[in-house]
Structure 1
Amino acid sequence: MGMSWRLVVATTNPHKLRELRQIAARIAPGRLHFLAPEEVLGTPWEGIEESGRTLEENAYLKATALFERIWQPVVADDSGLEIEALGGKPGVDSAHFVGSDAENRSAVLELLRDVPPERRRARFRTVLCYRDALRTLCVEGIVEGWIALEERGTSGFGYDPLFIPEGHERTFAEMEPEEKNQLSHRFRAVAALWETLRRLEEEAVEPEGASEPEVPVWLPWLIRLSAAAARAETAAELDMLLRQALREGVPVRAIAEVLLQLCLFAGFPAAIEALTAAQAFCERFGVPWELLLPEPLETEAMRARGSELFALVYGERTERVRRRLRGGAPVLEDLVLRVAYGEVLSRSGLDIVPREWAAIAALVVGGWWRQVASHLRALLRLGFPAEQCEEFLGILQPFCTPEQWAQLCKVWQYVRQGEHTAVVQRPQEGSWCNGE
């Protein structure tokens, strides 16, 4: 038996939640569970204004809004009735066409009053948007049918008393829930979602002997360069490291990206000095310099990709850290997610593993031990071997004072043991850094 999926549904509609649960019990009994927002938040979710112009946009907006509150896997549903004779209306406005469910149904019947049965073709469509810390995906379910001449049946909700699915003579509201849930658009969307989740589950199980993240042979030199620049080495010392890094095959773009991200971990003065020195060095020796241009993304897209990377780095501590940021100053959370993680650390010029190691190097030099621990955990979550982590941490010893090196040893022991205590433990006898 595979893993159990617990998804929080971004809805304020109890009828929709009940139907989703009934469908899940049929499609994946015991494995797919839909939770109400209040089961996680402790209080009812107030929902959001559904301002999207498509079902996909509304589902995405709802999923994102709730996900950024709870940082747990979320699914959002947006459904619409699309009637051919009305040009696809009510469509995305189905839930709020003119008013209540009863008023919406009356309005549809009035608009179709002179439309003969053969021209009352329609379809129900559901879009489900799934969000977690690493991905956003959408699936849909569609059922074709017709609009009845009058309301029929008392079961279901919304437009169910009007919709006759193709191949049947009764409306959804005239069917028992079990029968409707085998035919409906929502059933088909949940079935598509479940197939997608099963594929994700299979991808998450690495086959025996699966390869670890590929490590560039030049990464040790990038680590040294980041540490030296963060420590504000002299121009001559930086020149020596740059010469060696280029000789060892470190791409100029990788050097530029690492020196740029120093603004986050060592401050703007260190980043400006290092970038200026590197550019001057390349010009002196005829090495083409990589100009780093802004990546053209909208603010919300930048924040979204920053949020995903932030969640990867901080894992189960994500919401706790975000609360701390908001507590200090709400604008700080936005700057960290949108600018630091969205605009800088998510740039396309360097893979995540070299970025993480360069960040760790700068943070170690600065003595920011909580952040060092978080980025080391991120590397382990990415599948980076613990033994190789120890080897690469050893690269940083020449850049550390004895006190910094001792503290780095403690941090690594803390991360490896996975203990949720303060970073104050002494290295154990026989540990990799003991006696250094």
Structure 2
Amino acid sequence: MPTVIVATGNPGKLKEMQVYLDDLGWQLQLKPEDLDIDETGATFLENARLKAAGVAKALGQWAIADDSGLAVNALGGAPGIYSARYADSDRARIDRLLGELAGCSDRSAQFVCALALANPQGDIVVETEGLCPGEILPEPRGSGGFGYDPIFYVPDLGKSFAEMLPQQKEAVSHRGVAFGQLMPHLKALTLG
């Protein structure tokens, strides 16, 4: 069973990625805590590439990286690649975003997820980007999910991400779309 390093220190992200990659028979493993890769890219895809390539080269193993966040149209794409660093807690990030959108009629937004897989030499062998369009609610709804989920509304389903069952969210989310696009390429790879 090939081992693939997930270029994150977040066990929750590893668990979420495992759901999508289960059928491949890969053993996923978190990157070492002391291995930090600077996210200096200007886009989600650039940051995913940097993380995957950096971890793969440093460890001499296959590595997969995810860089994702929320892009709000009325805010010029913010918080964008700074989604996790927009404030110091989920509640503070939501409050800041809602404050910045106060009085704004355009509440359109999208969640973005970029994925990159690097071989042990650090070459990116496959990459993709998934989008989930939606709107920012005026106040949080639902108790599931994390991050911006309580204020991200998907009109087609009439629910915020935080109101969806995990299986519903996996099917329509930016991460679900990105993994759906990536899977045929991953299944065709032989990791060695």
Aligned residues: 190
Counterpart residue number, 1:14: 11
- In structure 2, C-alpha distance between the alignment counterparts of 1:12 and 1:159, rounded to whole Å: 20
Shift in Å, 1:5: 5.6
Q: Per-residue displacement from partner, 1:204-249 (whole Å, max 9, x unpaired)?
A: 9xxxxxxxxxxxxxxxxxxxxxxxxxxxxxxxxxxxxxxxxxxxxx
User: Where in structure 2 are there 5+ consecutive unaligned residues?
Assistant: none
Distance 1:150 1:46, change over 3 A: farther
Query: What is the RMSD computed on CA atoms of the aligned residues?
Result: 2.2
| Contact 2:11–2:30 (CA under 8 A) maintained in structure 1 | no
Q: Per-residue displacement from partner, 1:246-301 (whole Å, max 9, x unpaired)?
A: xxxxxxxxxxxxxxxxxxxxxxxxxxxxxxxxxxxxxxxxxxxxxxxxxxxxxxxx
Shift in Å, 1:98: 2.6
Shift in Å, 1:34: 5.7
Q: Which amino acid aligns with 1:189?
A: A
Counterpart residue number, 1:81: 70
User: Where in structure 1 are there 5+ consecutive unaligned residues?
Assistant: 205-315, 317-436
Counterpart residue number, 1:55: 44
Shift in Å, 1:24: 2.8
Q: 2:146 matched to 1:157?
A: yes
Counterpart residue number, 1:269: none
- In structure 2, C-alpha distance between the alignment counterparts of 1:132 and 1:95, rounded to whole Å: 27
Shift in Å, 1:13: 2.0
| Contact 2:35–2:55 (CA under 8 A) maintained in structure 1 | no
Q: Per-residue displacement from partner, 1:74-125 (whole Å, max 9, x unpaired)?
A: 1000002111111111111111113222211111111111123xx2111111
- In structure 2, C-alpha distance between the alignment counterparts of 1:120 and 1:32, rounded to whole Å: 41
Q: 2:71 matched to 1:106?
A: no
- In structure 2, C-alpha distance between the alignment counterparts of 1:17 and 1:187, rounded to whole Å: 14
Q: 2:81 matched to 1:92?
A: yes
Shift in Å, 1:17: 1.8
- The structure whose residues are more often helix, as a share, is 1
Q: 2:183 matched to 1:190?
A: no
Shift in Å, 1:128: 0.4
Q: Normalised by the size of structure 1, how large is the TM-score?
A: 0.41
Percent of paired sites with the same residue: 36
Q: Per-residue displacement from partner, 1:366-411 (whole Å, max 9, x unpaired)?
A: xxxxxxxxxxxxxxxxxxxxxxxxxxxxxxxxxxxxxxxxxxxxxx
| Contact 2:110–2:131 (CA under 8 A) maintained in structure 1 | yes
Q: 2:188 matched to 1:199?
A: yes
- The structure whose residues are more often strand, as a share, is 2
Q: Which amino acid aligns with 2:18?
A: R
Shift in Å, 1:169: 1.4
Q: 2:28 matched to 1:35?
A: yes
Distance 1:190 1:6, change over 3 A: farther
Please say which structure displays the higher CA radius of gyration. Answer: 1
Output aligned runs, 1:178-327, within 5 Å. 178-201=167-190
| Contact 1:17–1:34 (CA under 8 A) maintained in structure 2 | no
Counterpart residue number, 1:321: none
Counterpart residue number, 1:169: 158
Shift in Å, 1:68: 1.7
Shift in Å, 1:45: 4.6
Q: Normalised by the size of structure 2, how large is the TM-score?
A: 0.88
Distance 1:85 1:13, change over 3 A: same
- In structure 2, C-alpha distance between the alignment counterparts of 1:167 and 1:32, rounded to whole Å: 34
Distance 1:112 1:130, change over 3 A: same
| Partner SS, residue 173 of structure 1 | helix
| Contact 1:10–1:63 (CA under 8 A) maintained in structure 2 | yes
Counterpart residue number, 2:114: 127
Shift in Å, 1:6: 4.0
| Partner SS, residue 9 of structure 2 | coil
Relative contact order, CA 8 A, sep 6+: which one is greater?
A: 2
Give the alignment partner of residue 24 of structure 1, picking from 21, 30, 49.
21
